[in-house]
Amino acid sequence: MRDRQLPESVYNWTSVVGVAVAVASFCIIVLLLLIDAFVDATTAYLGLLTFIVLPIFVCLGLVLIAVGMLIERRRLQRGAHGHFRPELNIDLRNSRHRRAVAIFTGVTGVFLMATAVGSYNAYQETESVEFCGAICHVMHPEFTAYQSSPHAHVSCAECHIGAGAGWYVQSKLSGAYQVYSVLAEKYPRPIPTPVHNLRPARETCEHCHWPDQFFGARMMVNQHFLGDEQNTPHPISLLLKVGGPASSRSGSAARPHDSGDEGIHWHVSEANRIDYAATDDRRLDIAWVKLTDELGQTKEWTLDGEPVDQEVLDGSELRTMDCIDCHNRPSHNYRSPTKLVNQAIADGRIDRRLPFIKREAVTCLDDEYETTSEALSSIDEHLRTFYADEYPEVVEDQASMLDAAIASVQGIFQQSLFPEMKVTWRDYPDHVGHSESIGCFRCHGSDLTTAAGEQISKDCSMCHSILAQGSGPGADSIAPSGLVFEHPVDIYGEELETNCTECHEGGAEIY
């Protein structure tokens, strides 16, 4: 018999194959690590291969070795070689045993270290933005919107998982199911929102933002252009009463509350708790709201002040209001064609001198398309045909202006609409505001009243003051005390009576 340095039972085909698989995978991992260290721009797929796929093969190899050894040992015990071997008999005076022990300890040590480094990296990898956003193509819309959001440098996991082992395990379990449903093409399109098992926002958002830090007011300047031939500009400047400590009050007479906290973030101040019941899956239809203040006093609003049916409550989702009941799109905000075209005209990416460009751009963005490539060619065709028919001189004299506008409109489509995943801004309404989706007006000014008939206020100066509006004379002087809203086109006072969303929804109905 040859002088074998390893246990007899290793010498079988299964184990040999196992060794080959494990060693080969391990060598590839080392090689990829070297590439990763020396080459700057490697792809996300490399990490997936290095830290997740190959380690699985290393483990598979090790399992094969063990299985092979077990089978071989059984065979040996049954007397294939005619002699019985004791279970374990290590004699350190025997140089063959010494060598075997040394090899075993060395290999185990290296393996354990590699496992530690590997699992840390696997952990990092599955938490990485590339893993969640780029590799998983289903997330393409979320990832695209995320990249142009104020949170583009906050990792997906910081909002979706947060700190602590419990949520980590929970998210990996549901993540495993998600990977399966993607592979099996079982996932719904668009991905449903809201995320019903999202971690409570106060545990994630408040890592970086905490209510004490909100202060005073925030100025917002929104650019608008009408759908007329001149694309008439109509900017609106608002001062949003974000809220803060009592000392920094910005004179809002309409406020129903006079406790220390005020303004929009009053909803999430330590002193209050607002519970509500939504009867639909998307939390848009609210049937019951209850406020509990710092003294424990409560106030309830129900539909038309009628006592709320227990059956309705049982069938509803009950929530305590937190950040995402308003900021539900902090990172994946699919803006409407109206907003994006307004912005592109304001930035000069679309030239305002092109007649009716606001109206036409919104119209062709908000059409039905099966695929992105179909949309891009239709947009090109729509705009060229429109100008060729209506304004042939534009096609002749301002061809490059038109080309640039077409490219910008196509760019807007690619950034905000995803026909393959059936994602549009309509499927993911933004709850901050009220002009294109119902947002604040789910409660404020809705049919919810107290038993005494008191509404949740919709007073136009409670949440903001309008500092400047329109492009008429005097529009550039700011009115610190606030203006009465004047609708850009005369709609006979409807803007104060009817919710903006009855007419506006960001698409082609009103440009």
Which residues from 462-501 bind ligand HEC, rule CB under 6 A? 462-464, 485, 487-489, 491, 494-496, 498, 500
Q: Is 143 in the site for ligand HEC (CB under 6 A)?
A: yes
Relative orientation angle of helices 54-77 and 13-38, to the nearest 10 degrees: 160
Residue 188 or 474 with smaller CB distance to ligand HEC = 188
Interface of this chain with ligand HEC, residues 209 to 238, rule: CB under 6 A: 209, 211, 218, 222, 224-228, 234, 236, 238
3-class DSSP state of 55: helix
Half-sphere exposure (Cβ direction) of 93: Cα atoms closer than 13 Å: 0
Interface of this chain with ligand HEC, residues 98 to 137, rule: CB under 6 A: 129, 132-133
CB 236 within 8 A of CB 468: yes
Q: Is 244 in the site for ligand HEC (CB under 6 A)?
A: no
Half-sphere exposure (Cβ direction) of 480: Cα atoms closer than 13 Å: 2
Segment near ligand HEC (CB under 6 A), from 34-42, 80-88, 257-265, 381-389?
Answer: 257-265
Q: How far is the CB of 30 from ligand HEC (least distance, A)?
A: 30
Q: How many angstroms separate the most distant Cα atoms in the chain?
A: 108
Interface of this chain with ligand HEC, residues 297 to 336, rule: CB under 6 A: 321-328, 330-332
Q: How far is the CB of 153 from ligand HEC (least distance, A)?
A: 7
Residue 363 and residue 506: Cα distance in Å, rounded? 11
Q: How far is the CB of 307 from ligand HEC (least distance, A)?
A: 18
Q: Using the rule CB under 6 A, which residue among 26, 51, 266, 356 binds ligand HEC?
A: 266
298-303: strand order across its sheet: 317-320, 273-278, 286-292, 298-303, 448-449
Residue 104 or 210 with smaller CB distance to ligand HEC = 210
Residue 54 or 364 with smaller CB distance to ligand HEC = 364
Collect all residues with Cβ–Cβ distance below 8 Å to 260 and sequence separation of at least 6.
245, 246, 271
Q: Is 182 in the site for ligand HEC (CB under 6 A)?
A: no
CA gyration radius for the chain?
32
Residue 420 or 459 with smaller CB distance to ligand HEC = 459
Residue 61 or 433 with smaller CB distance to ligand HEC = 433
Q: How far is the CB of 486 from ligand HEC (least distance, A)?
A: 9
Segment near ligand HEC (CB under 6 A), from 38-46, 191-199, 347-355, 383-391?
Answer: 191-199
Nearest alpha-carbon partner for 464 in 263, 274, 188, 279? 263
Residue 129 or 344 with smaller CB distance to ligand HEC = 129
Q: How far is the CB of 3 from ligand HEC (least distance, A)?
A: 57
Segment near ligand HEC (CB under 6 A), from 26-34, 63-71, 239-247, 392-400?
Answer: 239-247
Q: How far is the CB of 133 from ligand HEC (least distance, A)?
A: 3
Segment near ligand HEC (CB under 6 A), from 49-57, 152-160, 349-357, 475-483?
Answer: 152-160
Q: How far is the CB of 329 from ligand HEC (least distance, A)?
A: 7
> Could you tell me the two tokens for 203?
């545990």
**Residues touching ligand HEC: how many (CB under 6 A)?**
102
- Name residue, tokens 């019903």: 196
Collect all residues with Cβ–Cβ distance below 8 Å to 132 and sequence separation of at least 6.
139, 143, 156, 157, 160
State the sign of the Cα–Cα–Cα–Cα dihedral 340, 345, 349, 350. positive
Q: Is 274 in the site for ligand HEC (CB under 6 A)?
A: yes
Q: What does each C-alpha distance from 160 to 47, 120, 248, 324, 387 come to in angstroms?
A: 21, 19, 33, 12, 46
Nearest alpha-carbon partner for 351 in 235, 225, 222? 225
Q: Using the rule CB under 6 A, which residue among 70, 380, 458, 470 binds ligand HEC?
A: 458
Nearest alpha-carbon partner for 462 in 256, 161, 202? 256
Q: Is 286 in the site for ligand HEC (CB under 6 A)?
A: yes
Q: How far is the CB of 2 from ligand HEC (least distance, A)?
A: 56
Q: Is 207 in the site for ligand HEC (CB under 6 A)?
A: yes
Segment near ligand HEC (CB under 6 A), from 88-96, 363-371, 386-394, 440-448?
Answer: 440-448
**What letter represents residue 166's amino acid?**
G
CB 53 within 8 A of CB 46: no
